[in-house]
Amino acid sequence: MGDGKDRNSQGGEKPREQAIFAGVDIGSTMTKVVIWGGNVLSTFIGPTGAEYRLLAHQVVQDALRRAHLSFEDLAYVISTGYGRMNVPFADGQITEVTCHAQGVFHLFPGTRTIIDIGGQDSKAIKLNAEGKMANFAMNDKCAAGTGRFLEAIAETLALDLKELGELSLKAGTPVKISSICTVFAEQEVVGHLADGKRLEDVLGGLHEAFASRIQSMAVPVKIEAPVVLTGGGAKNIGLRRALERRLGYELLIPPEPLITGALGAALLAKERWKKAVAQGLPLNKEKRKLEAAKFYH
């Protein structure tokens, strides 16, 4: 363009001396992308849908477009999350456990524990003083303690998730919900409401039970402050308060709790790329193209 500014192949402005990396986090419900070049250049969050293998590249395209970049500008791509094995244009796959650790520690240096509450699973990650993953625990077997638990209840009560959390804060005397199974818990909730209990009290008890499940899941990693809460669950104020009450201290919440995995993946992409440069290894997958997966793992 002749204005002296460094331009990328699409004519957008390119930050100086920065190689550009992408982290693609394909979760069971949402797909998140972070483009990193010294700082976050763009993020994109979209529903994963049933055929994520067909959509991952589109999400990346959207993120690139926002940053005025093209796929060829990416030096290295790391995929993570549930669908990480089906991203043919990724140069490597790293689990969401390691990626969350990386992303969260970048946002909150000194973090010792991460609790991630996703749509279909939840996990607890312990970090050492250097921010490296030291231990992890997961619940991916049952809905209790995952976003699905609250979604199911929200649907039954014809409320949205945000309302569910906010109403729970108004509980006077939370009603004890003892079931660990989503189906039974739902029955309990309905039963209590039929008995005439206040909706706020029942929801208060429900969030208590949820927090209890999360705490049980996290026990093997020995929760230690500072604790960061990520994932869709972090947006539920009722859950956050219930957990804080249990732990006895405040939780840290990232400004956008859904992208910590993708952020970590992008940062790890940079790390891998630098190592490859230093060791003279191939820098990225040759002939990688931004396209849908044609094969299944």
Partner 1 sequence: MDAPRGLARAAELYKQKDKRAKEWKAQGKKVLGYLCLFAPPEIMAAAEVLPYRLRGDLKEPVTKAYEFVEPFGCPYVRNLFDQDLKGKFDFLDGLIMSHSCDMVQRIYGIWTLNKKPAFHYFVNVPHTPAPWSQEFFKREMVFFREKIENFSGNKISDDQLQKTIAEYNRCRALLRKLYSLRKVDPPLVSGTETLQVLVAGMGIPAEEFNGLLQEVIEEISARSQQLAQKTTRLMLYGSVCDDFSLIQLAEENNANVVIDDTCIGTRSFMQDVPETADPLDGLVSAYFTSFLCPRTDRGAEGGRLQYIADLAKEYKANGVVMYIYSYCDPHKFDAPDVKDFLKKEGLPSLIIDDDYTLTNLAAIRTRIQAFVELLG
Partner 2 sequence: MSQVHSEMSRAIKSTQTVRNIKKFIPGFYDRAQRRKIPGTQLVWNMLGTGAEILRAFDLVGEWPENYGTLCAAQQVAMGFCEEAEAEGYNNDLCSYVRNSFGYLRRCRDLEAVPPEAPLGGMGNPSFLLGSGLICEPRFKWFQAIGTHFLKVPVFNDDPMSPPHDADVEDPRIAEHYKAQIRATLRAQITFLEEQTGKKLDMGRFREIMKNSQEAIKYWYQVLELRKAVPCPMGSEDYFTAIIPFLYLAGEPEAVDFYKALYEEIKDRVDRGIGVIPEEKYRFVWLGIPPWFNLGLFNYLQKLGAMVCIESTYYVGEPVELDLTDPVEGWVERTWKTGKIKHKNGSEVNPDVCNPGVFNPGVGGELIKRWVSEYHLDGAIAHRTRSCRATSMGQLQVKNKLAEIGVPLLIFESDMVDPRAWSDAQIKKQFEEFLEIVDTHKKNRF
Residues that bind partner 1 (CB under 8 A): 82, 85, 93-98, 121, 133-136, 138, 140-141
Q: Which of 3/296 has CB closer to partner 1?
A: 296
225 binding partner (options partner 1, partner 2, none; Cβ < 5 to 8 Å by kind)? none
Q: Which of 60/144 has CB closer to partner 2?
A: 144
Q: Which residue in the set 216, 225, 290, 292 belongs to the binding site for partner 2 (CB under 8 A)?
A: 216
C-alpha pair distances (Å), 63 with each of 59, 60, 228, 238, 260: 6, 5, 26, 31, 16
Q: Residue 214 contacts by C-beta under 8 Å, 6 or more apart in sequence?
A: 115, 117, 122, 124, 145, 233, 239, 243
Least CB distance from residue 175 to partner 2, whole Å? 8
Q: Are 43 and 262 in contact (CB under 8 A)?
A: yes
Q: Which of 184/249 has CB closer to partner 2?
A: 184
Q: Residue 124 contacts by C-beta under 8 Å, 6 or more apart in sequence?
A: 113, 114, 115, 116, 136, 137, 138, 214, 217, 218, 220, 221, 223
165 to 194, contacts with partner 2 by CB under 8 A?
176-181, 184, 187-188, 191
Least CB distance from residue 145 to partner 2, whole Å? 13
Q: Which of 31/43 has CB closer to partner 1?
A: 31
277 binding partner (options partner 2, partner 1, none; Cβ < 5 to 8 Å by kind)? none
Least CB distance from residue 96 to partner 2, whole Å? 24
Q: Which range in 32-40, 155-163, 211-219, 228-236 contacts partner 2 by CB under 8 A?
A: 211-219
**Tokens linked to 66:** 């926002």
208 is a contact residue toward partner 2 (CB under 8 A):
no
CA distance 112 to 125: 8
Q: Which of 26/242 has CB closer to partner 2?
A: 242
Phi, psi of 238 (to 5 degrees): -65, -40
Least CB distance from residue 212 to partner 2, whole Å? 8
179 binding partner (options partner 2, partner 1, none; Cβ < 5 to 8 Å by kind)? partner 2
Least CB distance from residue 101 to partner 1, whole Å? 9
177 binding partner (options partner 1, partner 2, none; Cβ < 5 to 8 Å by kind)? partner 2
CA distance 236 to 63: 26
∠ CA(98), CA(76), CA(231), 5° rounding? 35
135 binding partner (options partner 2, partner 1, none; Cβ < 5 to 8 Å by kind)? partner 1
Q: Which of 98/230 has CB closer to partner 1?
A: 98
Helix ranges, 182-259 (H):
182-194, 199-218, 237-247
Q: Are 67 and 12 in contact (CB under 8 A)?
A: yes
Q: What residue ranges in the chain does DSSP mark as E strands? A: 20-26, 30-36, 40-47, 74-80, 92-93, 113-117, 122-127, 133-139, 227-230
Phi, psi of 182 (to 5 degrees): -55, -45
Q: Which of 183/277 has CB closer to partner 2?
A: 183
Q: Which residues bind partner 2 (CB under 8 A)?
A: 176-181, 184, 187-188, 191, 212, 216, 219-220
